[in-house]
Structure 1
Amino acid sequence: MFKVWIDAGHGGKDPGAVANGIQEKDIALKVSLGIKERLEVAYEDVQVLLSRSTDVFLELRDRTAKANAAGADILVSIHCNAGGGKGGFETFRYTSASQGSIKLQDTLHKTIMANLGGTDRGHKAQNLHMVRESKMPAVLTENLFVDVAADADRLKQASVLDAIIDGHVQGIATYLGLAKTKEDKPVTQERDINVPSGWAKETWQDLTKKGFFDGTRPGAPITREEMAIVVGRVLKYVDQKG
């Protein structure tokens, strides 16, 4: 069972970047919850642990301490960016990152960009707490700019958040080599052929009174010979009325 630690940046009294009616902490939480739900449903042998699942404040040291204590296999910290410019997407690893972190960054970056599109700001390395203090391969993703109008408009669209979530899920699954869950065959509930469907009940009763049907097995399939009998009854009914 792989353990994936998803860290929703900021929270509580720390909103993160704020602009254009968006708070970074809200986007980070939505994406994190979406990753957990989709990854655990779509793939086998994986458990997603969250730094926070609600709008609460956590110190950076508490986030990494919990992830390390849990023995997580990887850590991904979710953020949005600010600072203007052309906006776009970028990822960060530690300046002296392990080969695992470098590979995780490359895999995540590719799958997220493939889903999200737009401006690619590239793979970057920086001395950030979340990627420095984590004992496992760790990457921080910066998912568009809240203070760039075009990016902010995108972040307000459910389809864009879905793309960000799916990109993370696919990247994590690829990195860990997860197998997809076996889809259960849809359960087909057999209907009672002796009870007419609600939408056909009135017509069935009317045509039964007219003698076109004998009133039995309204939900059963009809054969060609049975159809011939019904047609014959219809023609006889028309002749009598004519």
Structure 2
Amino acid sequence: MANEEALHLYSRDRSKPIHRWVYEVLRLNIIQLHLKPGRILSETEMADLLSVSRTPVREAFIRLAEDGLLDILPQKGSIVSLIDLEQAQEARFVRLAVEKEILKEACTVQLSGLKNVLKDLEENLEWQEECGKKTAYDQLLVADNEFHRILYRSCGKERVWDAIKKLDYNYDRLRVMTLPLVSGRIIGEHREILRVVEGREIERIEDLLSRHLTWEIIEGVVFEYPREYFKAFPVQGNVVR
């Protein structure tokens, strides 16, 4: 893959079907910008890189297209989708509205279950802090998403989280752009969220999540990236709100 970005491989869970692993590897590489927006992908190239046949790659391409991460164009092939800022803002709007309610529910988890939730969140924060120290931003994004999944799971809403992740693929790619700048702040806000749940401080949720899922950081970062990464590049100082 001369002159192209390297594909990051992830360990395979042998209990999962091969096509699912191929899909997850390619999806993570797109989300984490190892496969850049606008990059042309071929089934043969990806199959060779992953040491699999073309069949699971073809199946993965279909799923990625359904997710909005891949554009399959007649006569041109498959292209990593450009980042759509308007769609990302819509995804952030949905997530902010839903997550406020999720946190309120998490604050009412019965004491018998709260201990396990707090333990899981604390262990996840240790993982995040380790990623931050190593500047392992790929893994930090994974840990970040898992932190929020724990919150949704704590109140029986894990499928809601899965639905949101289907929607916020553009928002996630923008978050990847910001992590080198704000990783410490993000981890600190996660610790605040843990304290809010532990102390059942529902009155703090609105302000905390508005800061945590802010759009302002993104506004300052997009202009540092090539305009060809974006479906519609904004005018300086006028990123979609």
Q: Determine if the TM-score, normalized by the shorter chain, exceeds 0.5.
A: no
Structure number with greater Rg is 1
Greater relative contact order structure (CA < 8 Å, 6+ sep): 2
More helix by share: 2
Sort the TM-score into its range (normalised by shorter chain): under 0.3
More strand by share: 1
